[in-house]
Amino acid sequence: MSLEKVLVTGATGFIGAAVVKKLVTLLGIQVWAGARDSVNEFPEKVISFPLGDIGRSTSCGSLSGISTIVHCAARVPVIEARCPIEDFREVNVNGTLKLARRASQDGVRRFIFISSVKVNGEATSLGRPYHAHDAPSPQDPYGLSKLEAEQGILAVAEETGLEVVIIRPPLVYGPSVKGNFANMIKLVDHGIPLPLGAIHNKRSLVGIDNLVDLIIRCIEHPAAANQLFLASDGEDLSTTELLRSVGNAMGKPVRLIPVPAGLLQLGATILGKRAMAQRLLGSLQVDISKTCELLDWKPPYTVEEGLRRCFERSN
């Protein structure tokens, strides 16, 4: 990769921090770390770039000299909490478009937008994964806001010539991950018996190291311009297989009780936990063949390796 300046927004977040670290430690390029406030603990070669609250009124300052923006900053869903669509739009749509327009004005070459598989939808039939060319079907305010942001930055690209790359990852796991994956780790760590020993769904996920590797490829690869890519580890696991794999990576026994999925679905419906049941019992698969073929890329780590690296760095 030629020496260039890259701005990473959301640089203190889970994905953004990993991108900053890899760009600096492995590639040695100058990185501008965009965060809400000025941050001092970034390593050498990282320039703190305070953005304030991302939204319609964001004042991002001059982007002159920056060649690529990796836009990771976002309003994300909070488990079991509901936020109005306007809250997601303010950050994910208005803030993104304000940054993209400023980027086009200041001569930024490429804008990489970290979107979400939720733009595609919430579930797939077993063995029928989402493809990059599928019609979007977001089912919640977060997914809808990401779709609207995608549409907006593509319009900016058409008007200005800014190169846009959209990446839609499914569940991302890695050291210090939060949310549903963190909750699953706690259950395995505490040795709690789980009624998930007979689940035969398939779900795609992506380790943080694989996702960051793909983002780096999209910074440098000419064929990435104005394309949409799905991301995953290239291996789909059932919930049962994932729990066992997490246990193996942690060196912990996993206590799984083989309760039929239909019975679990019924119980979840009665308790008003259908969304949780969908995440545990339903399938959500993505096809990354376009990503691999167009970018000459493949995930560098298997799920087994990704999970092992996850817990090695957590200890």
Using pLDDT thresholds of 50, 70 and 90, give the confidence band for residue 43: low
Q: Residue 163's beta-bridge partner residues? A: 110
Lowest mean pLDDT among 118-127, 187-196, 233-242: 187-196
Residue 171 has pLDDT above 50, yes or no: yes
All structural domains of the chain with their residue ranges: 5-175+205-233+285-302
Tokens standing for residue 70? 């990796």
Place of tokens 């079991």: 80
* CATH code of the region 5-175+205-233+285-302: 3.40.50.720
Q: Which of the following is catalytic: 130, 142, 173, 301?
A: 142
pTM passes above 0.85 = yes
Is 301 one of the annotated active-site residues of the chain? no
Q: Kindly provide the residue ranges of all beta strands, DSSP E only, lying in the chain, ordered along the sequence.
A: 5-9, 30-35, 46-50, 68-71, 110-114, 163-168, 171-173, 203-207, 227-230, 236-237
Buried/exposed code over 174-193 (b: 16+ C-beta within 10 A; e: otherwise): beebeeebeebbebbeeeee
Residue 212 has pLDDT above 90, yes or no: yes
Residue 279 has pLDDT above 90, yes or no: no
Give the model's pLDDT for residue 163: 96
Lowest mean pLDDT among 128-132, 180-184, 219-223: 180-184
Q: What is the mean pLDDT of the chain?
A: 89
Average pLDDT over residues 77-99: 83
Tokens standing for residue 219? 């910074």
Pick 253 or 179 by higher pLDDT. 253
Cα–Cα dist 226/222, whole Å: 10
Average pLDDT over residues 231-242: 96
